[in-house]
Structure formats: structure tokens, C-alpha cells
Amino acid sequence: MTDHPRTSPVEASSAQPLAISDLRVALGGRTVVRGVDLTVRRGEFVVLLGSNGSGKSTLMRAALGLLPTHGGEVRLFGTPLRSFRDHARIGYVPQRSTAASGVPSTVREVVMSGRLARRRFVGVAGRADRGAVAEAISAVGMGAYAHAPAAELSGGQQQRVMIARGLVGDPDLLVLDEPTAGVDLAHQVSLATLFGQLLAEGRSIFMIAHELGPFEPLINRAVVLRDGRVAYDGPCSDERVGASSEPHSQHHPHLDEPPGFVGVEGTGAWPS
Ligand SMILES: Nc1ncnc2c1ncn2[C@@H]1O[C@H](COP(=O)(O)OP(=O)(O)OP(=O)(O)O)[C@@H](O)[C@H]1O
């Protein structure tokens, strides 16, 4: 990545939540993302589509600084990625397999871990933190399970807990990697309603999906990746979008994933 001067706070607050230009990423000596341009504007819902292995997760993780880049530029809220420190403005829901860690935690603890960037004092959860956690758990319909061990939940319930963890910091940009894998239709419909409220508040959503389902009416733009390149960027109504969204079959965890990789805060909160 090239160096850029820091953006002033005023510029940064009004800047686009995510601006990616000519991004290149290589993994294991192979170029996986090949010169991608992609922008998520304020209040926009952008969905990233493409077949298995097209580079979607790699692009998303590199855009958040979770993987090294090999060219191009990423700006978050106007600030170059390497100088970006305002992590509380971003809520990240990683792909389920990459979040596995085996740490035993209750639903409440998992969701509280998403609040760390907002906490003023490490180790002390204040009333606002506890309220935000309860609200996020309830927003994904998991209120009855707040004290349950997360490891004992179904896959779809665990996924909803991870969405609560992404929401709990009250982010301006919500970034989700296949958040609804395993989530039943009724809960997808509730999540779509919730996302509609976030968008109406001017928040932005960047989501990897294989099926658009109840989210489709909310989506401003679909970006289709093919072999690490943008093959389409435009409205969902285009036939190229239909051809790229398909039910996701068995997920294949990447064998050479770094062990213990868990996401933005590295909290290891996802139970196996
Ligand atoms: N750590 C890694 N080392 C080497 N290659 C990797 C690594 N992680 C992913 N890859 C490869 O990079 C390519 C893109 O993977 P990526 O996970 O970004 O695809 P994807 O579009 O998100 O796929 P899916 O829809 O299956 O989640 C694939 O060929 C994958 O095998």
C-alpha cells in the first residue's frame, strides 16, 4: 500500500465508510484479489457475491487490515487503513469457520467481547455496556439464551450471537461475512428489519452472501467477484446478480488458515 497523509477529523467524519482502490492481495504466493475497486457510501447496503474461492472473504479481511495487502489502497471513513484507529466505528462478523476457537463463553460474554473497543476502562463493564449487550442480544432474538453457554447453541443461533457481537459497539459500518449461513428464514426476516433500521439511521452495511433472500429490497448495490476481479457492480436487478447468488452448500474451511485467527479484537470468543 502507498502512504497517504492522515485525514483531518472533519474530513474523516464525512468521508465514505469504505473506499477500496486497485487492491491486490496474495495468499500463499498466489494472487487472490486482483485490482479491486469498491466503495461503500454512508447509508448504503452493498453485498459482495461470487462463487466459492472467488476471493470475497480475502477482500473483506484485507479491507479491515486483517490480512496484509500487496498493492492499492483502502480507506476507512477517509483514513488510510494503516493509520485507522477508530475501530469502534466498525462491527465485524467473521465467517463462522474462521471464528472457531473453543473458548467456553456464555452468549452474554461473547457479545460483551464486541464492546471492547467502546469501553473506557479495560475490565470494567459499565451500565451502558451492559445495556448495549442486552439490547443487541434481544435484537437478534436471543434474549432467552443470554446466560447459556454459546457452545451449546445451534449453528444458526451461534451465528445470531455473532451478529449481536458485531452490533453491540453501535458501529457506523457493519461488515459481515456470510452472516446468515444456517439462520432460518424467520430470523433472516427479523435481521432484515433490523438492518433496515440501521440503514435508515445512516449506517452502512457491507455483506458477503450467497443468497440475498429477505435482504434484497434493502440492497443498494451488488458487487460480483470472479477470480479476484470485480465482474459486476450495480443494482441487484441485473441478471448477472441472479446468476451469482446461489444457495451455499457445504462450507469448506481453508486448510492453511492461521490457527486462532478470530477477527478484529482477537477475542477468541467463538466456541467450536
Ligand atoms: N490462508 C490462505 N492461504 C492460501 N490460500 C488461501 C488462504 N485462504 C484462502 N485461500 C485461497 O484464496 C482463494 C480465495 O479464498 P476466499 O476465502 O477469499 O474465497 P471466498 O470467495 O470467500 O470463498 P467462499 O465463498 O467459499 O467463502 C481460494 O482459492 C482459497 O483457497
For atom 25 of ligand 1, which residue has the closest CA? 52
How far apart, in whole angstroms, are the C-alpha atoms of residue 48 and residue 3?
A: 27
Give pTM, 2 decimals: 0.83
How far apart, in whole angstroms, are the C-alpha atoms of residue 181 and residue 184?
A: 9
Q: Is the CB of 263 under 6 A from ligand 1?
A: no
* Probe target for ligand 1 pocket from 58, 206, 223, with the most ligand atoms within 8 Å of CB: 58
Burial group, residue 134, by CB count within 10 angstroms (0-12, 13-18, 19+):
middle
Q: Is the CB of 57 under 6 A from ligand 1?
A: yes
CATH topology of domain 18-242: Rossmann fold (3.40.50)
Q: pLDDT (tens digit, 0 to 9) for every residue of the chain, 272 residues total? A: 444 445 555 455 558 999 999 999 999 989 999 999 999 999 999 999 999 999 999 999 999 999 999 999 999 999 999 999 998 899 999 987 544 456 678 999 999 989 877 766 566 678 888 999 999 999 999 999 999 998 888 888 998 999 999 999 999 999 999 998 888 999 899 899 999 999 999 999 999 998 899 999 999 999 999 999 999 999 987 777 776 666 544 443 333 333 322 222 222 222 22
Q: pLDDT at position 8, please?
A: 53
Give the β-pairing of 90-93 and 173-177.
parallel
Q: Is the CB of 58 under 6 A from ligand 1?
A: yes
Q: ipTM of the assembly?
A: 0.96
Are 67 and 25 a contacting pair, CB within 8 Å?
yes
Q: Is the CB of 5 under 6 A from ligand 1?
A: no
- Where exactly are the structural domains of the chain? 18-242
